[in-house]
Structure 1
Amino acid sequence: MTIQFFGYPKCSTCNMASKLLRDSGVEFVYHHIVEDPPSKELLKEMLDTSNGDLKTFFNTSGMKYRELQLKDKLPTMSEEEQLALLATDGMLIKRPLVFDGKQLTFGFKEEHFTNSWISK
């Protein structure tokens, strides 16, 4: 699978991450996370690949997260409901979100990002 990069053009962190990939010659497909968020099925595949906690997918510091009071609602929502919610609004997803079918990263910490995507 080609590397899928979900970012937001006005996000400086996303811009730094995509620039690092481009400057390092890493090919990827850029998706505007608001206009083209990952589907519920792709999010489920990401979750299964990461063996992680679905809460880590949420942008907990985002305005939308706070506006929807998800801190209180997520514990009572099923995995299916959470995936459906994430798929409807890319601003709820922690970004940048990078996935290649085997590996998944959230956010941008340069050393971790470099080890995950550039030093392969």
Structure 2
Amino acid sequence: MTVQLYTSSSNASSRKARAWFRDHEIPFMERNIMAQPLSQDEVKRLLRLTENGTEDIISTRAKIFGKLHIDLDTISTSELIKLIAQHPDLLKRPIMFDDKRLQIGYNEEEIRRFLPRKTRQLEMEKVRARLAI
């Protein structure tokens, strides 16, 4: 299964995620969302994968968020989707997902969920063996 990796070139976390997938030989398709913004349908697909909706993917610290004076409590979902498609820098990065998992931002522990189950099981066995010594 191929992981989708949405990045921006100037983002250090995006570079870390890309390196992690390469180091662990996990196939991924990278897309620089600044150079190739998401369509409204792609934004909707991302939102369906989130647990908390827009809170999970919107960067309230982004300069554009302040410039646009977005009030997440009053803006409609359809308006926000349009804004994200127009201003991809509203999104937190990197965004990594496959058919079952979604991760926003780089986190050394959480990214391991993309490892194949068998690999995770082998690593747990090694940890248990070390603890038993």
TM-score (norm 1): 0.87
| Deviation of the 1:2 alpha carbon | 3.3
- 1:118 is matched with which residue: 115, 119, 133? 115
Residue in 1 that maps onto 2:90: 92
For residues 12-55 of structure 1, what are the alpha-carbon distances to aligned partners after superposition, in whole Å with 9 as ceiling and x for unaligned?
A: 11101110011100111111111112221122122223342212
Partner SS state of residue 55, structure 2 = helix
Partner SS state of residue 98, structure 1 = strand
Structure 2 Cα separation of the partners of residues 26 and 38 of structure 1: 23
Tell me how many residue pairs correspond in the alignment: 117
4+ residue runs over 3 A deviation = none
Residue in 2 that maps onto 1:101: 99
Q: Which runs of 5+ in 1 are unaligned?
A: none
Structure 2 Cα separation of the partners of residues 41 and 103 of structure 1: 19
Q: Which runs of 5+ in 2 are unaligned?
A: 118-133
Structure 2 Cα separation of the partners of residues 78 and 2 of structure 1: 32
Q: Aligned-residue CA RMSD in angstroms? A: 1.6
TM-score (norm 2): 0.79
Task: State the identity as a percent.
Answer: 26
Structure 2 Cα separation of the partners of residues 38 and 117 of structure 1: 23
For the pair shown, the structure with the greater C-alpha radius of gyration is 2
